Amino acid sequence: MHRFILCFAFLVAAALPARADSLFTVKNVPVDATAAASVEAQTIAINGGRPKAWTVLYRRLTRQEDWGRQPQLDDTSLQRLVRSFDVTDERRSTTRYVAKVTYVFSQPAVERLLRANNISYVVAQTRRILVIPLSPKFTPGDSWSLAWSDPRFSSGVVSAVLPEDSDAGALSGMTFDTANWNAVSGLAARTHASDVVVADLAPGNGQVRLKRLAAGQPIVPSVDVPAKTAAAAAEAAFDAIADFWKNRSAVDFSQKSKITAEAQFRSLSEWASLQAKLGTVQTVVGIDMVAFNMNEARVDIAYVGSFDQLRGTLADAGIAMTSRDGMWWLSRNEGQP
């Protein structure tokens, strides 16, 4: 690095950005309870829905291999996790209460609980995946395409988006074996999808083959997902897709590391913008300034999780980390705002 005209050190705590509330909102949990009076039944029903909602949220944020480690919470602990709730479709009698309840969980409280139990969880923003249902080709309105319209597939850390009916012509020649990134890159850009997965349903046996298409990256081998009905097959396939991404992005907060990186910038305002972006990266837990001059800075970055996860979360925040001359360099990703 060039000769420094100023050298100092300080620590910047990384700010935790608020993710979309929808990720910590579990919608329309069915509740049903009977008691001596309607008011008592209502209380029992709403309290009884919290464990169901907690299981949905826990499985949404964590890898399938960690589902058996879900913290078992009593009523008081669950109440502390839930920020608010909303009731719809109420039906009641003198002794029974039936409704659907939406529970909004506190993100900080949930994350504190998971970290205290050393459970890895997803901290990245929701990832939009374009799913192209093939049976053996894309046919809008058939049972396989309709099975992917389940609202559950668009409310987790992975959000599945589908081609529109008008895309049928462009996809008419696509098969599982011929599907490639070049054929779908335009559609992915239009739907704001970060990646594409083709899901091929074999007629009769409910066997689903999955193939990921990504620009400049190796295609992930097919995953066979056995299921009996189209709806069950879509659910199993979606879970496999979501778990693939969670295995890549779930952060182990007990794994702590540090790396030194250089940053280049054209102005102090650009440097301030880069620092602000660093402050939104949840895997970054501390920054030590080592040296600084008018156009470059050297920083020690403390982070949690793996190095690949650090690079991924930096990229999501609009920061590119590249290797050059034996050093890591930070720069603003020109493709990001």
Measure the CA–CA gap between 160 and 54, rounded to whole angstroms. 22
Confidence of residue 3 (pLDDT cuts 50, 70, 90): very low
Report the 3 state secondary structure along 34-97.
Answer: ECCCHHHHHHHHHHHHHHHHHHHHHHHHCCHHHHHHCCCCCHHHHHHHEEEEEEEEEEECCCEE
- pLDDT at position 126 is 76
Q: Are 87 and 53 in contact (CB under 8 A)?
A: no
Task: For domain 253-332, give the fold.
Answer: Alpha-Beta Plaits (3.30.70)
Nearest Cα to Cα of residue 107 among 27, 20, 15, 13: 20
Q: What share of the chain is helix, strand, coil (3-state, %, to 5)?
A: 35, 30, 35
Q: Assess contact for 145 and 138: CB atoms under 8 A.
A: yes
Q: State whether residue 225 is helix, strand or coil.
A: strand
Q: Which has more pLDDT, 53 or 203? A: 53
> How confident is residue 222, by pLDDT bands cut at 50, 70 and 90?
low
pLDDT above 90: residue 253: no
Residue 280 sits at φ, ψ, to 5 deg, of -100, 0
Cβ–Cβ under 8 Å, residues 274 and 263: yes
* Amino acid making up residue 194: S
Band the pLDDT of 294: cuts 50, 70, 90: confident
pLDDT at site 218: 58
Strands of 127-134's sheet in order across: 158-161, 127-134, 195-201, 207-213, 223-226
Flag whether pLDDT at 335 surpasses 80: no
Q: What is the CATH number of domain 127-250?
A: 3.40.50
- Are 160 and 153 contacting, i.e. CB atoms less than 8 angstroms apart? yes
131 in Cβ contact with 160 (< 8 Å) = yes
Total Cβ atoms within 10 A of residue 320: 15
The DSSP string of 276-297 is HHHTT-TTEEEEEEEEE-SSEE
Alpha-carbon torsion 267, 268, 269, 270, what sign? Answer: positive
What is the spatial distance between Cα 298 and Cα 291, in angstroms, rounded to a whole number? 5
Task: Please tell me the distance from the alpha carbon of residue 303 to that of residue 14, in angstroms, as a whole number.
Answer: 10
Cα–chain-centroid distance for residue 16?
16
Amino acid 69: pLDDT: 95
**Backbone φ, ψ for residue 230 (5° rounding):** -60, -45
Residue of 104, 111, 143, 70 lying closest to 282 (CA atoms) = 111
Q: Which two tokens stand for residue 112?
A: 């504190």
Distance CA 337, CA 326 (A): 28
**For tokens 């069950």, what's the residue?**
232
pLDDT of the residue at 19: 42
Kindly state the percentage of the chain with pLDDT values over 90.
45
pLDDT value at residue 221: 60
The pair of three-digit structure tokens given for residue 273, joined into one six-digit string: 């913008």
Is residue 220 predicted with pLDDT exceeding 90?
no
Average pLDDT value for residue range 63-83:
94
